[in-house]
């Protein structure tokens, strides 16, 4: 009798979760690699009104027009020893096919680079579910391409510990973790092919 009651309760939980989007679902989302993530995007009504909002606490980035979210994506921000700066900035430089200038890792692709402070930018990079960069903002590849297309030189960027959309749009985004992916060959990462593949929304074998 007890087993029947347990099965009945579990069936009810599944049914409710399907309707309520999380009523009986674990709060820890399954970790996925970033190449599986392709965020939906809305075209802005007025491209000049587009703004970018970044939450370092939630590691979430929102492209907004007014209060409407056009795109939301997980990001990886700077670690404690090299934090992503907070404040109001402007995206003043965009370079689709950019490579790292400094060591370590000179020549490594930083595809869809959007600079907001000297040596600080938003760009494609392998994702971690915790702060892990030297201060830049890494994005999944498909997110980086879509954000790059949405913003212009002059687009405002606000970076803060939290943003109003963390509690709704942000909390439903997946946890992305590329730490288990194999390292692409250095010869590939240093070749023009890495940029050609990025335009197709892919990288190496991912």
Average pLDDT estimate for 68-90: 98
Domain ranges of the chain: 1-28, 33-199
CATH number of the structural domain 33-199: 2.40.440.10
- Three-state secondary-structure class, residue 118: coil
* Secondary structure (DSSP) of 73-112: EE-B-B-TTSPPPPEEEEE-EEESS-B--SSSSTT-B--S
**Interval 149-189: pLDDT, tens:** 999 999 999 999 999 999 999 999 999 999 999 999 999 99
State yes or no: pLDDT of 26 exceeds 90: no
- The answer for residues whose C-beta is within 8 angstroms of residue 65's C-beta and 6 or more apart is 44, 45, 46, 49, 50, 51
On average, the pLDDT of the chain sits at 88
Distances in Å between the Cα of 27 and the Cα atoms of 62, 74, 206 are 21, 16, 27
In 3D, which of 76, 60, 79, 54 has the Cα closest to residue 134? 79
Percent of the chain whose predicted confidence (pLDDT) is above 90 = 83
State the alpha helices, DSSP H only, in the chain.
Answer: 2-20, 141-150, 186-189, 193-199
User: Global pTM?
Assistant: 0.84
CA–CA distance, 162 with 168 (Å, rounded to integer):
12
How much is the average pLDDT of 27-46?
86
pLDDT at 105: 83
Condensed to tens digits (0 to 9), the pLDDT of residues 122-137 reads 999 999 999 999 999 9
Of the listed ranges 12-21, 23-32, 71-80, 104-113, the least confidently predicted one is 12-21
Per residue in 80-97, pLDDT (tens digit) is 999 999 999 999 999 999
Q: What letter does residue 57 receive in the DSSP assignment?
A: T
Q: Which range, of 29-33, 50-54, 113-117, averages the lowest pLDDT?
A: 29-33
Radius of gyration of the chain (CA): 19
In the chain, the percentage of residues whose pLDDT exceeds 70 is 85
Confidence (pLDDT) at 130: 97
């Amino acid at each position: 009798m007890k087993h029947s009651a347990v099965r009945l309760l579990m069936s009810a939980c599944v049914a409710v979760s399907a309707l309520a989007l999380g009523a009986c679902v674990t709060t820890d989302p399954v970790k996925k690699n970033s190449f599986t993530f392709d965020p939906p995007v809305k075209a802005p009504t007025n491209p000049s009104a587009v703004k970018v909002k970044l939450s370092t606490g939630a590691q979430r980035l929102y492209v907004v027009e007014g209060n409407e979210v056009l795109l939301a994506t997980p990001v990886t921000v700077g670690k404690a020893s090299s934090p992503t700066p907070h404040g109001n900035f402007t995206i003043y430089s965009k370079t689709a096919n950019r490579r790292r200038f400094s060591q370590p890792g000179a020549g490594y692709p930083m595809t869809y680079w959007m600079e907001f402070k000297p040596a600080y930018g938003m760009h494609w990079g392998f994702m971690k579910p915790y702060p892990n960069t030297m201060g830049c903002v890494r994005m999944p590849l498909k997110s980086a391409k879509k954000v790059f297309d949405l913003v212009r030189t002059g687009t405002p960027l606000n970076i803060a510990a939290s943003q109003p959309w963390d509690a709704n749009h942000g909390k439903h985004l997946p946890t992305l973790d590329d730490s288990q992916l194999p390292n692409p060959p250095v010869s590939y990462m240093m070749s023009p092919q890495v940029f050609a593949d990025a335009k197709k929304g892919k990288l190496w074998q991912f």
